Amino acid sequence: MNLKLKIWRQKNAKDNGKMVDYQINEVSSDMSFLEMLDKLNNELIEKGDDPVAFDHDCREGICGMCSLFINGEAHGPDRGVTTCQLHMRKFKDGDTIYIEPFRAKAFPVIKDLVVDRTSLDRIQHAGGYVSVNTSGNTQDANNIPVNKHDADKAFDAATCIGCGACVASCKNASAMLFVSAKVSQFALLPQGRIEAADRVRNMVEAMDAEGFGNCTNTGACEVECPKGISLENIARMNREYLKASVK
């Protein structure tokens, strides 16, 4: 198929940037979206032009690096997939495709479609861990009984890959779904209860310090999340934060 691409090009963080038109032909419907961009970049390099910079790593839907805003949707028009798992069969011959970086104050553009998402890492560093005392007769974690319902919910929350689609989809650029998933995966388990109050306070404070917006329960984050992280986690985090504030 033949496609017209409108791609955001920006030399660096200080550049204003603009949308640039590209024509790409003979695109196979079996290609992934990133393979299509690879084809475009090969053509640009052959012409002596600067290739389009975009993030990617595993290309297996695991790492979340391939974060693109495609036709106004994070990761594109499919559901439950990252950009690398989006295939060109979702588009039609002659389509015009708009490709932009994730846009948020806390995600500054580095170049073209690449943004700096280390703000999410700093939030995790603030509290996304458990401290374990290995001295003495510490009980083996596998010997601590965990209710299956809680274990399943914790595992569901832990599937968050930190891609930032929730932030990019939110009209307020809120990171509440991401932070709540990281809080929930520990809050639901006995191993995470000891530091629960400090964890939720520290992570929420880090989120606010990074400049993310507030949640207004629009629900776009859950819809666009490639791992289907539930809004229930936000409600759980709010409860955890309220308890921590009272203490």
Q: What is the pLDDT of residues 137-146, one digit of tens each?
A: 666 767 788 8
Q: What is the pLDDT of residues 100-137, one digit of tens each?
A: 999 999 999 999 999 999 999 999 999 998 877 666 66
Specify whether the CB–CB gap between 21 and 96 falls below 8 A. no
- DSSP output for 176-244: HHHHHHHHHHHHTSGGGTTTHHHHHHHHHHHHHHTT-B------HHHHH-TT---THHHHHHHHHHHHH
Q: What is the pLDDT of residues 197-208, one digit of tens each?
A: 999 999 999 999
Token pair 């509440």 in the structure block, residue:
176
List all residues 6 or more positions away from 47 whose beta carbon is below 8 Å from its beta carbon. none
The tokens for 24 are 């790409």
What pLDDT is recorded for position 143?
Answer: 78
Q: What is the pLDDT of residues 17-31, one digit of tens each?
A: 999 999 999 999 999
Q: What is the pLDDT of residues 42-56, one digit of tens each?
A: 999 999 999 999 999
Structural domains in the chain plus CATH codes: 3-111 (3.10.20.30), 117-132+144-246 (1.10.1060.10)
Instruction: Give the C-alpha separation, 43 to 9, whole Å.
Output: 16
What pLDDT is recorded for position 139?
Answer: 66
Q: Across the strands, what pairs with 18?
A: 9
- One-letter amino acid of 6: K
Instruction: Give the C-alpha separation, 21 to 236, whole Å.
Output: 44
What pLDDT is recorded for position 141?
Answer: 64
What pLDDT is recorded for position 244?
Answer: 95
Between strands 96-100 and 73-74, the pairing is unpaired
What pLDDT is recorded for position 223?
Answer: 96
User: At residue 173, does pLDDT exceed 70?
Assistant: yes
What pLDDT is recorded for position 171?
Answer: 96
What average pLDDT does the chain have?
A: 94
